[in-house]
Amino acid sequence: MKHIPSLQRPVSQARILAALRQAREDWHNPSDVLTRLARRLSTTLSLETQLGILAEELADIVPFDSLHYRHRIAREDFVFATGLGGQHRCEYRLNLEGVSYGVLTLYRRKKFADEELEGVETILGTAICPLRNACQYITIEKASLTDALTGIPNKRALDEALLRSSQLSDRHSDEYSLVLCDLDHFKSVNDNHGHVVGDHLLQMAAECLERSVRTSDSVYRFGGEEFAVLLPHTGEQGAKDVAERIREAITGIVVDCGDAKLSVTTSCGVAMHLKGEAPGQWLARADDALYQAKRQGRNCTRVFAAIR
């Protein structure tokens, strides 16, 4: 009998398509917990959402009273918790290819059985890759908002914070103030001592600013040798006081250059957000106040006092 390949090809394609349709059906309507977990975790890069999904799926396999997760990502502590209580616990360090992606702990009043622990490990084995992706996404997102030299938030982060603060100020009639700080004669530092010393001085200045403000305040590297400090629930006088504290702290910075000791001063401009004001207008007023401080001798603070 003569072999006719062309007649077999449609049959093969039909089988492939049928297999694909079945695979799609199995993926969207999984009958096993691991496939369902993998599908649900693949729908988001939010670590918080993923942990919520993981807690739901785990509870169906191994009942627990509370779940805690902690991890340090991009210099910040990430903590997730759901449920309450339980004196017995099982703790898992989530590692993949030699990299840690946090610690997950389950608590409950009844001791965990060996077969239950085996089930938890199987579930975590399925979840670890999506959790890694979510952690890496946070790291990348944080990096895009962080100044590489000083480790503090950058201009893009400041722009987002100003927009958010402007909206909150308008909505709740809260006082928000902005301080811009510019290191005086910084170009001469680079010219006379080199960029390595200049970079070290910028790092020390960033640390000094963070120590000089409250935990609720935010410090940003605005650009070059210029920094910004966002002060929630703070009026003009309070912001001026903070600026003066920053200015005095900066004067205490001393860099040992071997044959000489280098110090620096800073000029500060202050502006409080006005109702209905756009972030760019707010920033421009603070910058204008900073310009006045520069023009009037440097190493001082000036406030853009607007009629409200």
The domain that holds 127 is classified in CATH as: 3.30.450.40
Task: Choose one of 144, 178, 206: the last residue of a domain.
Answer: 144
In a domain, 3, yes or no: no
Q: What is the pLDDT of residue 239?
A: 97
Of the listed 57, 116, 225, 226, which one is catalytic?
Answer: 225
Q: Left, alpha or beta for 298 (phi > 0: left; psi -120 to 50: alpha)?
A: left
Q: Are residues 64 and 192 in the same domain?
A: no
Least confident of 12-21, 43-52, 153-162: 12-21
CB-CB contact of 239 with 231 (8 Å): yes
In the residue annotation, 160 being an active-site residue is answered as no
Residue 227, beta-bridge partner list: 181, 221
Q: Are residues 104 and 189 in the same domain?
A: no
pTM of the model: 0.73
- DSSP three-state, residue 75: coil
Q: Are residues 107 and 74 in the same domain?
A: yes
Q: What is the pLDDT of residue 7?
A: 47
Task: Choose one of 123, 144, 165: the last residue of a domain.
Answer: 144
Q: What is the pLDDT of residues 133-151, one digit of tens each?
A: 999 999 999 999 999 999 9
Looking at residue 187, which CATH number applies to its domain? 3.30.70.270
What confidence category does residue 85 fall into, taking pLDDT thresholds of 50, 70 and 90?
Answer: confident
Average pLDDT, the chain: 91
157: pLDDT strictly greater than 90: yes
Q: What is the mean pLDDT of residues 251-256?
A: 91
Least confident of 11-15, 37-41, 73-77, 167-171: 11-15
CB-CB contact of 55 with 76 (8 Å): no
Q: What is the mean pLDDT of residues 240-263?
A: 91
**Which residues form the domain of 117?**
8-144
Neighbours of 25 (CB within 10 A): 10
Q: What is the pLDDT of residue 57?
A: 94
274: pLDDT strictly greater than 80: yes
Q: What is the pLDDT of residue 89?
A: 94
Q: Are residues 14 and 38 in the same domain?
A: yes
In a domain, 29, yes or no: yes
Least confident of 8-12, 66-70, 223-227, 244-248: 8-12
Q: Are residues 16 and 124 in the same domain?
A: yes
In a domain, 62, yes or no: yes
3-class secondary structure for 128-168?
Answer: HHHHHHHHHHHHHHHHHCECCCCCCECHHHHHHHHHHHHHH
Q: What is the pLDDT of residues 188-221, one digit of tens each?
A: 998 888 899 999 999 999 999 999 999 999 999 9
Nearest to 243 by CA among 265, 269, 218, 263: 269
Q: What is the pLDDT of residues 26-55, one digit of tens each?
A: 767 767 889 999 999 999 999 999 999 999
Task: Choose one of 144, 163, 181: the last residue of a domain.
Answer: 144
112: pLDDT strictly greater than 90: yes
